[in-house]
Structure 1
Amino acid sequence: MVDFSLSDEERQIRDTVRAFITREVMPLEQEVLRNERTGAPAVDPSVLRELRDKARRAGFWGINTPEEYGGMNLGAVMTAILVMETGRTFVPFSFGGTADNILYGCDDEQKKRYLIPTLEGERRSCFAITEPGAGSDARNIRTRAVRDGGDWVINGEKTFITGGAEADFVMVFAVTDPGRGADGGVTCFLVDRDMGWKSEPIPTMGQWGPASLVFDDVRVPAANVLGEVNQGFPLAMRWIGQGRYIIPAHAIGAAERMLQMAVDYAKIRCSMGRPIADYQAIQWQIADSQVEIESAKWLTLYAAWRVQQGMDARHASSIAKLQGATMANQVVDRVLQIHGGLGYTKELPIERWYRELRLLRIFEGTDEIQRRTIARNLLKGHARLGGIGE
């Protein structure tokens, strides 16, 4: 039988995080909205560091980081649940003590220079595979790395790189053996900013601040290869696939908070002598939103459970990501509609979420890519209908 309950400890962890987000993080929302109007950073980095330090003192550090590195190692399911909690606010807060999953593949020397400082918050990384003109076609990599003595020389451009403007090192994927294709001819390199790559921020309609990265004869020591030469593409797919369930988890938190705003507003907003909550048109929007949120929630937790069990979670994660992204956009649109003209103003955070959540249908694989993946898996027999827990 399937057990949907949380243990007492898990429930306590969730409730503690919810209280922390409500008490410590949500009060910064008005500051974020004010700063957006002036073009200032959403929140001063020192404030975010203080919040992470406060969370660490309370025991929340490295929620999905292995215990050998000082993390909590809560597992994918609890990680998803906690991301739902942090998703209840648009303040760009996240718990410290985490690193990209492929950095755990560093050798001992690389761990000292990259993994450990990243976990401690002393260094910031970014993941760079997307290129201009390639978009979601991760195999269409044109950035080249050519061996020159004990070094590799990298030339190329990456685009829409999350954290690229702030990172001080990048995990960049480049073609090292053009004749072998993506699966056997791409290598991942750990490249410090002071080795010569440049970044340029890309303005967007929401909070996400990606960057373009340019590599012009950037010389990288052979010791900075992550994993094995020509085996970088499987690393990239591991990075992309491992945490895809995080995206809908974040969307669920935002959607639940906005739906509660709509419920509360519908009770007090009167039209033609009655609260609008009495009208079927409003009730159906609220009901549909609840159904879609719950559907996305269980699809997301199922994908996280497969990750936690060491099972192949790619198909389940694509389903969760597609449903979560479309759900969030439908919910925020209904919530704005329920609030009417007020929802369209900057007095409320709804318009902010409207812009921010639109990204989810593009970020980390578009809706179209997810549909292609799901259909292909069924048509080729990689996934089948009617299975439970398989």
Structure 2
Amino acid sequence: MVQRTIRDFVRKELMPYEQQVLKNEREGRPGMSREEIRALQDKAKALGFWGINTPEEYGGADLGPMMTAIIQMELGRTFVPFGFGGSADNILYYCNEEQKERYLLPVINGERRSCFALTEPGAGSDAANIRMSAVKDGDHWVLNGEKVFITNGNEADFAMVFAVTDKEKGARGGVTCFLVDREMGWRSEYIHTLGEWGPASLVFENVRVPEENILGELGGGFNLGMQWIGQGRWMIPARGLGAAERLLQMAIDHAKSRVTFGKPIADRQAIQWMIADSAVEIEATRWLVLKAAWMSEQKLDNRHDASIAKLYGANMANRVVDRVLQIHGGMGYTKELPIERWYREMRVWRIFEGTDEIQRFIIARNLLRGHVKVGESMEQ
């Protein structure tokens, strides 16, 4: 029922915006305004979709990882930049009571926007190598350094910033997360990318942050960062699965109507094999994602399975969109169709939230060190 409801919402409310989004992006503007997104969120709220992973005590639906995976699959069917309102980053729930009033609750209510600031010019996949410093000065910490590729960094009112508070301890107790308001002095600069994802570079020059703005515990930042990243790994292939299904259907429809040498190209074995391979890979991704989500719902350690889902699913989506573009020929390469837009967007999925190479490293390490036995999960 939830799946059907979301699919209908995507088809009736989001897909009609696609041409407008493409036009706005071609002209250098955001695909949709905050007002348009908020209006759509209000429509979704009327259907009961508000704060899908937010605890009920904060007014959310708290649907859990499995339902979230299914919802992300459906939202992936469109590239319209939409997300349900009423949610906050998972690590913001570590706020103390005073911080909840200033940060958590305003984010849930849509009054403030946050961004997660961990990646640096010299620390991407190797998150333990961050260099941003935080030096104690009285009852403040002084932050210096730069963060890069920060999603929502240009729009955020505050950032969850990870900085080194003890060089000797490093990632093992020497990294702390700070809640840093934009008014405290950091600035953002737009980073132009291959796709429409517009991350930011955040620059901190002697930014003073009160002691009371530490999120969680002093030195506990690295664990918070890994919790945030871990949640996103299986969410990416979930969304990619929905996009791949939509794209595959576009390829099927085109193959049946496009005629060459007197026959629809759907009759050509080369086209049939691309369609068949895509369908098989999509179905395999579905079960990898659902397993990782199920393990999360059961409070099991799903890191190994999430890495498998991320690695396979992100590559699946890139293979499928490439085949679909090829089936459409020259028209697939034009901006008249959304295929090239998805083509550019999907490429980053193999990079952020852990590159392909990092996922392979994690999977191999778990097997070689015996953390996982072949044919088993981490807590089976």
- TM-score (norm: length of structure 1): 0.96
Once residues 153 and 49 of structure 1 are traced to their aligned partners in structure 2, the CA distance between those partners, rounded to angstroms, is 36
Structure 2 residue matching 1:180: 3-state secondary structure: coil
Match of 1:217 in 2: 206
Match of 1:112 in 2: 101
Alignment of 1:4-153 (within 5 A): 12-153=1-142
Once residues 138 and 120 of structure 2 are traced to their aligned partners in structure 1, the CA distance between those partners, rounded to angstroms, is 27
Match of 1:383 in 2: 372
Once residues 65 and 307 of structure 1 are traced to their aligned partners in structure 2, the CA distance between those partners, rounded to angstroms, is 15
Once residues 356 and 376 of structure 2 are traced to their aligned partners in structure 1, the CA distance between those partners, rounded to angstroms, is 24
> CA RMSD for the aligned pairs?
0.9
For the Cα contact (< 8 Å) 2:55–2:61, is it kept in 1?
yes
Once residues 41 and 8 of structure 2 are traced to their aligned partners in structure 1, the CA distance between those partners, rounded to angstroms, is 15
Once residues 17 and 344 of structure 1 are traced to their aligned partners in structure 2, the CA distance between those partners, rounded to angstroms, is 30
Map Cα deviations across residues 79-122 of structure 1 (whole Å, 9 max, x no partner): 01000111000000111111110000100010111001001111
Match of 1:305 in 2: 294
**1:285, CA displacement in angstroms?**
0.3
Match of 2:313 in 1: 324
Once residues 366 and 244 of structure 1 are traced to their aligned partners in structure 2, the CA distance between those partners, rounded to angstroms, is 10
- Where do 5+ consecutive residues of structure 1 fail to align? 1-11
**1:279, CA displacement in angstroms?**
1.0
Structure 2 residue matching 1:183: 3-state secondary structure: coil
- TM-score (norm: length of structure 2): 0.98
Matching residue within 328, 351, 355 for 1:366:
355
Once residues 293 and 137 of structure 1 are traced to their aligned partners in structure 2, the CA distance between those partners, rounded to angstroms, is 30
**1:244, CA displacement in angstroms?**
1.5
Alignment of 1:264-279 (within 5 A): 264-279=253-268
Once residues 387 and 379 of structure 1 are traced to their aligned partners in structure 2, the CA distance between those partners, rounded to angstroms, is 14
Match of 1:252 in 2: 241
1:357 aligns with 2:341: no
**1:182, CA displacement in angstroms?**
1.0
Once residues 237 and 134 of structure 1 are traced to their aligned partners in structure 2, the CA distance between those partners, rounded to angstroms, is 14
Match of 1:5 in 2: none
Instruction: Give the letter aligned to residue 163 of structure 2.
Output: A
Once residues 45 and 288 of structure 2 are traced to their aligned partners in structure 1, the CA distance between those partners, rounded to angstroms, is 30
Structure 1 residue matching 2:123: 3-state secondary structure: coil
Match of 2:229 in 1: 240
Structure 1 residue matching 2:128: 3-state secondary structure: coil
Once residues 221 and 33 of structure 2 are traced to their aligned partners in structure 1, the CA distance between those partners, rounded to angstroms, is 36
Instruction: Give the letter aligned to residue 254 of structure 2.
Output: Y
Map Cα deviations across residues 316-370 of structure 1 (whole Å, 9 max, x no partner): 0000000011000000000001011111111110000000001101111110110
- List structure 1 runs of 4+ shifted beyond 4 angstroms: none
